Amino acid sequence: MTGVQESAPSPATPALAPPPFAVIPGGQVRRVLQGRERDVVDLVEATYRLHGAGDSVNPPSYFLRFPDRPNARIIALPASIGGPARTDGLKWISSFPDNVAAGLPRASAVLILNDPATGYPFAVLESSIISATRTAASAALAADRLSRDRARPARVGFIGTGLIARYIHTFLAGTGWTFDEVGVHDLAAASAQGFRGYLERSGGPGRITVHDDAESLIRSSDLVVLATVAARPYLHDPAWFAHNPLVLNVSLRDLAPEILLAGANVVDDVDHCLKADTSPHLVEQLTGNRDFLDGTLDDVMAGRVTLPTDRPVVFSPFGLGVLDLAVGRYVYDEVVRAGELTVIEDFFHELSRHG
């Protein structure tokens, strides 16, 4: 006889059933998350701490690229998170910058949540909102924690004025930040004006200035938010950062190595961030080491790292799948609690092994 004969299940083996499978569209996701900026920032902080303690699995992201569409990509972010809401899952997110010219958002995404007991997926959620939310919450958390030993920024500047920039501003405002000045710069003038309109409608205090160039915005900002689709560095002069601002390097590829080498550097996860030609990855390739890194955001929150006040501080978050899982599970639980979950009956159909 060849092969391996499988033994019959033990009579003591408990019966398992697949969980109900649900679909949560973007409207529900938005209704759950809107106005809960403080709760989500607290959730993201707790998730960073779980990840820092090793209670997560967050393998490398996987990039699907296309020879005929070099500026487009789709990324898979598998992850597993422990804690009170243990969940496995996958975010599948596309970035097609050419969509913007056609009036369609650049990014689209779904998030799949899997039951850790059976492996069966139990929900799929529209995830562009979840992705933007966890990115903005991470940025707002970093802005708070990385500025605690220095003067709190009173002037903020946004380079790149798309959806991510809007969400970051919303989360800063929603967690108590106010600014005397808000600077705006984008290569697309219409986008810069659109973002200015959003800022005016948001009703926050402070003068709004649209800058024609990145240099004037950076020099006049204590907090710089980089939220572009840049594929390679275009900011090269450390002198622009001589006033030691806090830089949220959300888009990851705007800064040349010499700027990072002149500052203090914090990442969300070392191994994840130093890949795919991010600005920190370029520094590693240039220097052959990782000595330029001061630590992770979790290191700062835990008091293991103290940042200097006489240099710029750059936070470079690669974006961790565990954050998407945490926010997605939060949305799922809130929809269940409200009794509004849409279950797809008979989604898992072949459940008898031998028919």
Whether 137 maps to a domain, the answer reads no
The CATH number covering residue 126 comes to 3.30.1780.10
In terms of domains, do 72 and 201 share one?
A: no
Whether 72 maps to a domain, the answer reads yes
Whether 343 maps to a domain, the answer reads no
Whether 67 maps to a domain, the answer reads yes
Contact 209, 175 (CB under 8 A): no
CB 4: neighbour CB atoms within 10 A?
6
Whether 138 maps to a domain, the answer reads no
In terms of domains, do 299 and 313 share one?
A: yes
From first to last of its 355 residues, what are the pLDDT tens digits of the chain?
444 444 344 445 456 788 899 999 999 999 999 999 999 999 999 999 999 999 999 999 999 999 999 999 999 999 999 988 899 999 999 999 899 889 898 889 999 999 999 999 999 999 999 999 999 999 999 999 999 999 999 999 999 999 999 999 999 999 999 999 999 999 999 999 999 999 999 988 889 999 999 999 999 999 999 999 899 999 999 999 999 999 999 999 999 999 999 999 999 999 999 999 999 999 999 999 999 999 999 999 999 999 999 999 999 999 999 999 999 999 999 999 999 999 999 898 888 888 7
Whether 286 maps to a domain, the answer reads yes
In terms of domains, do 182 and 291 share one?
A: yes
For the whole prediction, is pTM greater than 0.85?
yes
Whether 1 maps to a domain, the answer reads no
Q: Which two three-digit tokens encode residue 206?
A: 């402070």
State the SS3 of the chain: CCCCCCCCCCCCCCCCCCCCCEEECHHHHHHHHCCCHHHHHHHHHHHHHHHHCCCEECCCCEEEEECCEEEEEEEEEEEEECHHHCEEEEEEEEECHHHHHHCCCCEEEEEEEECCCCCCEEEEEECHHHHHHHHHHHHHHHHHHCCCCCCCCCEEEEECCCHHHHHHHHHHHHCCCCCCEEEEECCCHHHHHHHHHHHHHHCCCCEEEECCCHHHHHHCCCEEEECCCCCCCCECCHHHHCCCCEEECCCCCCECHHHHHCCEEEECCHHHHCCCCCHHHHHHHHHCCCCCEEEEHHHHHCCCCCCCCCCCEEEECCCCHHHHHHHHHHHHHHHHHCCCCCECCCCCCCCCCCC
In terms of domains, do 121 and 218 share one?
A: no
Whether 159 maps to a domain, the answer reads yes
Place of tokens 């092969």: 3
- In angstroms, rounded to a whole number, what is the distance separating the alpha carbons of residues 128 and 345? 25
In terms of domains, do 57 and 195 share one?
A: no
Place of tokens 């919450």: 137
The CATH number covering residue 192 comes to 3.40.50.720
In terms of domains, do 250 and 331 share one?
A: no
What is the residue range of 172's domain?
Answer: 143-319
Domain count, the chain: 2
